[in-house]
Each structure stands twice: as C-alpha cells, then as structure tokens.
Structure 1
Amino acid sequence: MNGRHVREDYSARAAEYVEFLGDIEQMDEIDRERIGIWAEGIDGRVLDAGCGPGHWTAFLADRGHDVEGIDLVPEFIAHASTRYPHVPYRVAALERTGIEGGSLGGILAWYSLIHADAEELPALLAGARLLLRPGGRLLLGFFDGVDGEPFAHAVTTAHYWSIEGMTALLEGAGFSVVDSEARVQDGRRPHASISAIAVRSD
C-alpha cells in the first residue's frame, strides 16, 4: 500500500465518495448495530483509523464515546471537521498517529486497511496493538475472500481476506479474536468483520 498513491486516489474522488458513502444513514443498519455494540464495551479513548468522511466517528461521539478520527485524505478531514464540528479530526496515518502507546481503549478500522497487501498488513496490525492498552478492543471491517487477493476497487487496488486468514494475522500481532461475522448481499462484494482484544504488547 503506497500511502501517497492511496491519498491521491481518494483525494481525486473525495466529493463523489462523500456523496455516496459519507452519511451514517447510507450505512447498513447491521453495521450500525455491530459498531455500536462493539463500542459499548470500551473503556477509554477510541480511534477511528481511516475515518473517511467522519460519519462513524460522529456516530460514536454521539453515543458518548471519547473518539478521534484520523485519515490520510485532507479532503475527508476538511469535510468531517465542517460537518461534525463537535468531533476531533486530523490528517494522520495509523502507523504515524502521534498517540502514546498503550493509551487507547479501542480502535475502529472499518474498511481502512483494505489497501494493505500481505506484506504490509501484519505491521499495521502490530502497530494498532501497540496503541491499545491490554484488553483494548479492535474492530476490523474488510472484504471477505481469498487471503491477500487483489482486486480493482472503485478508488484504488484493494485486497480480500478470509476470516481465517485475518484471524491468523491478528493472533500473530498480539490479539485474541472475540467474534466475527460475514454476509453476502446482492450487488456487493462479500463483507466480513472481526472483533479482537489486545492480549500482549511485546
């Protein structure tokens, strides 16, 4: 995943992305319930890593969570900061958050790691684990499929992962998987998500 290319590709289509995928009401009710229930068990600060237009960050903030959204794309951060002025947003990457290690209670990475390939993803997951306190929670959303297989995403190349494959990567990064879910809907690529807890920091 070349961060500069991902940023440039999303920047070029930011207005289109915001229009079609930038409102919480455009998200599946199943996902709103999934993320809401996941967040109920978090003690402490939450990071929405790869927050895009900021709707999930605001969704969590409106439910009383201490949450911040970060994204590589300045256009997304500008939109989010204007639309949700009560929520903190800034331009940053998961591997360079500026956040003290072990200080977070939760990280939401909802479709924000889909552009990382098999060589890059383990380091990103390990970095997320280092930001979390022991027992901190991670929730990943991703496309379900053959591990690491690339495909032509609407914006830039993305990768599929199976639940089994992603589970192995999470366990290797110091997480224990709590639960997972998957579904297939007409006209959409297969979806999966995994909830995991940070169980070690070495």
Structure 2
Amino acid sequence: MTAPDSLTATRAAYDAAADTYARLFRDSLRDAPLDRAMLTAFAEAVRGAGRGAEVADLGCGPGHVTAHLEGLGLVARGVDASPAMIGLARRAHPRLRFDVGSMAELDLPDASLSGVLSRWSVIHTPPAELPPVLSEFARVLAPGGHLLIGFWASESSAHRTQVFDHAVAPAYRWCPDHLSALLGEAGLTETARMTREPLPTDRRQFREIHLLARKAPAATD
C-alpha cells in the first residue's frame, strides 16, 4: 500500500534530522524522573500480565527508549518510519531488533505483543488517520496487553486537536479525554493517566500526557 503523503513527508523530515535528533535526545530520560516512573509502571504492568514480556516501541527514533525498556526486563524491539533513525538505532544498540515500518501497517502478527509503547509518535498523525493507527495497536496486542501512549495536550475543550509548530514535521496536540475515547473505540481501556505541567525552562509550554491502556483479557483470564 502506498504510504500516505503525511507519512512520506514525516519520514523524509526525520531522515534529514536524524543525527541532530539523536544527539539532542539520546540522554533525555536522564533528567525526566516522571517519564522513567511511567515507563517502569508500564514494564511492571506488562510483566504482571503473565503472557511474556515482548513489547514494541513504535516511533522508536534512535532507540534510546527501546534500550531503556530492555533494561527494565522487557523483550523490546523498535519500529520507526525513518530508515535513517533505524540505522542509528541499530548502530547504537546492536543487540536489539529495529525495523523500518509504519504504525498504520505493522508487520506483526495479531495478538503477538504484551505491550506497545507509542511515545510522542502519534503527534504527526493527522486526526483522520489516528483511529486506524490505534486499531492497529490493539490488533497486535494480546488479550490483557498494555499500551502506553505519550503526547502533548490540547488546552482548548472546544478543540479535540490543535496544530502546533514542530521543528521537524507538522504536528498535533490532542485533548486527553478525546484520545482516551478513541482508544476505547479501538478496544483499549484507559487504566491510568499521568499529567506533567510544563516547566518554565521547557521550550514548549504544553502539558505532557501519558495514558496507560489495556486490551480486555481473554474470557478465561
């Protein structure tokens, strides 16, 4: 299937910015204790589901978060639309698997993962294209599997999404309740939410949102 124009443009933009992006963000978790705490909670939820611990970091960039997940005891792999990003990830973390791919068409079997991480990767997805992406997340999750999705919040209750100026590619902020409702329509139920207010030193004065959601367990669970 031909990639949507938005994906093609985003891929090209991140290919061009890959080296700079990796240099700026490879240590980003070091000074982000709340982010690390949410990733730890995600890892514990995945391990506690009792179905193995294989997870995919979708929109993995240069792979630093994928490697962090492995350090938390998960069997982690990364997927990104940008071949340049995947090349950087493979060189930095050669023991892990990284593949070029689209979140809208994952090359993964149904119900094959215990966890999916989407950390600021849906911000470049146009609103009309987001529901199929969330359905794809649900498709690859096993019953009882967990999703952790991170994004910036829209501040207007009248707008479900807001376009904002992103340094790499066109991007969107999302109303947290609206995105949670879209997860529900895809078969994923929100189980926890973390909100971080912007610091005065943050370049973007937007609230950061992490939603933890779960696919319904099998009837015998």
TM-score range, shorter chain: over 0.9
State how far apart, in whole Å, the 2-side matches of 1:12 and 1:65 are.
Answer: 31
Displacement of 1:200 in angstroms is 8.0
Q: Runs in 1 of length 4+ with deviation above 3 angstroms?
A: 24-27
TM-score if structure 1 supplies the norm length? 0.94
Identity across matched positions, percent:
31
2:209 corresponds in structure 1 to 192
Secondary structure, counterpart of 1:59 in structure 2? helix
State how far apart, in whole Å, the 2-side matches of 1:200 and 1:171 are.
Answer: 14
Q: How many pairs does the alignment contain?
A: 201
Q: Is the 8 A contact 1:21 1:27 kept in 2?
A: no
Displacement of 1:15 in angstroms is 1.2
Displacement of 1:167 in angstroms is 0.9
State how far apart, in whole Å, the 2-side matches of 1:148 and 1:176 are.
Answer: 20
Residues 147-158 of structure 1: pairs in structure 2 closer than 5 A: 147-158=160-171
1:77 and 2:94 aligned: no
Displacement of 1:69 in angstroms is 0.3
Q: Is the 8 A contact 1:53 1:79 kept in 2?
A: yes
1:51 and 2:60 aligned: yes
**Structure showing greater Rg:** 2
TM-score if structure 2 supplies the norm length? 0.86
State how far apart, in whole Å, the 2-side matches of 1:122 and 1:137 are.
Answer: 17
State how far apart, in whole Å, the 1-side matches of 2:40 and 2:61 are.
Answer: 18
Pairing partner for 1:20 from 17, 24, 38: 24
Displacement of 1:26 in angstroms is 4.7
Q: Which runs of 5+ in 2 are unaligned?
A: none
Pairing partner for 1:130 from 139, 142, 157: 139
Q: Is the 8 A contact 2:29 2:36 kept in 1?
A: no
- Supply the RMSD in Å over aligned alpha carbons: 1.7
